[in-house]
Homo-oligomer: A and B are copies of this chain.
Amino acid sequence: MQWLDQSIMARKGVAGGKSGQEHTITEAEQGRYHYVYGPFAEPVLTVDPGAVVTVETHDAFEGKIRHETDSPTQILNFPYLNPQNGPIFVNGAEKGDCLAVAIRSIRPRGPQPCGTTLIMPEFGGLVATGDTALLNPSLPERVRKLEVTAENGVRWNDRITLPYQPFIGTIGTSPEIEAISSLQPDYYGGNMDLPDVGVGAVIYLPVNTEGALLYLGDCHAAQGDGELCGVAVEHPTHTTVQIDLIKGWTFRWPRLETADFYMTIGSARPMEDAARIAYRELVRWLAADFGFDEIDAYMLLTQCGRVRLGNMVDPKYTLGASITKAIAHA
């Protein structure tokens, strides 16, 4: 990740993008995991900008789905889903700042098969749900337990093995006064399920409250665009992130940087609103920081913008809009 030295995090961060003190949040240190993003929980850790934190994340079901014969509806207890580590209090962070989080590594942990995906009633992109509320009968439940290793990938069956391309499904800062389900993505991040939030990327999150209060969890070993049935290859991990703080960089929705591109992330329903949010933020970013006229940015993105669909299953849908650095810096 050589490019990181030239990242926005390196150029503007309080810690200059340099690694500082190392921390851990093991399962034991975490104790109770959290199911909301909010300011009401006590920080599990307080760090300075530059901190490198290794977290033991649970899978989205907190490890309760162990066998392919398990019944999700009998085992899972809504709304106690998608357990999150944190919150991490970042010294110096105030409303109006930006929290930069570089994703350094994600490794599977726990006994095999450590990957889980499943079908459960009223959840998913191709079924009736609580919101798209219909009278059709549900699909039957189905559970798949999958062997997942960094070396060999995700073993789907005898014929198909998918590469291990892990990312953080849910990550964000706390809202200012709300505490919102970790199942939801929104302006502060949350359950975006966007594969670009993977190893080597830096995500920039708006700080809405003192200390930023970073939460994360829900790592996916592999996921297609849209997370179609609502459950990627969920797995528990050791996830290492480097945290920095950019004072006074104020924006509304999460942003992301990789070696190759800049991305803005919108979450909303209907899906076109997620796309509008993402692209409008990108237009404004190009105008604010890259010297583009706003209308010119709008016309240029028409010719070269890229869109990644994160999820089409959560309470809000998530899309990222991006432009290559080659063009943005031309």
- What is the interface of chain A, defined by CB distance below 8 A to chain B? 35-36, 38, 40, 79-80, 117, 119, 124-128, 130-140, 142, 144, 154, 156, 159-160, 162, 176-181, 222-233, 252, 266, 268-273, 275-277, 279-281, 283, 294-295, 298-307, 309, 312, 317, 321, 327, 330
Identical copies of this chain, number: 4
Kindly list chain B residues whose C-beta atoms are within 8 Å of the C-beta of A223: 302-303
List chain B residues, Cβ under 8 A from A154.
303
Q: In the complex, A281→B133 CA distance in Å?
A: 9
Q: Are A302 and B127 within 8 A (Cβ)?
A: no
Q: How far is the CB of A131 from chain B (nearest CB, A)?
A: 5
Given the known inter-chain contacts A231-B302, A303-B156, please indicate yes or no for A125 contacting B225, CB distance below 8 A. no
Q: In the bound complex, how far is the Cα of B301 from the Cα of A119, in angstroms?
A: 13
Q: Which residues of B contact A177 (CB under 8 A)?
A: 35-36, 79-80, 179, 181
Residues in B with CB closer than 8 Å to A273 are 131-133, 269
Q: A178-B36, A312-B275 are in contact. Are A298 and B225 (CB under 8 A)?
A: no
Q: How far is the CA of A225 from the CA of B40 in the complex (A)?
A: 37
Closest to A220 in B: B303
A275–B271 touching, CB < 8 Å: yes
9 CB contacts below 8 A, A to B, read A125-B272, A126-B134, A126-B279, A133-B277, A134-B276, A224-B305, A233-B303, A269-B273, A309-B309
Collect the chain B residues with CB atoms within 8 Å of residue A283's CB: 126, 135
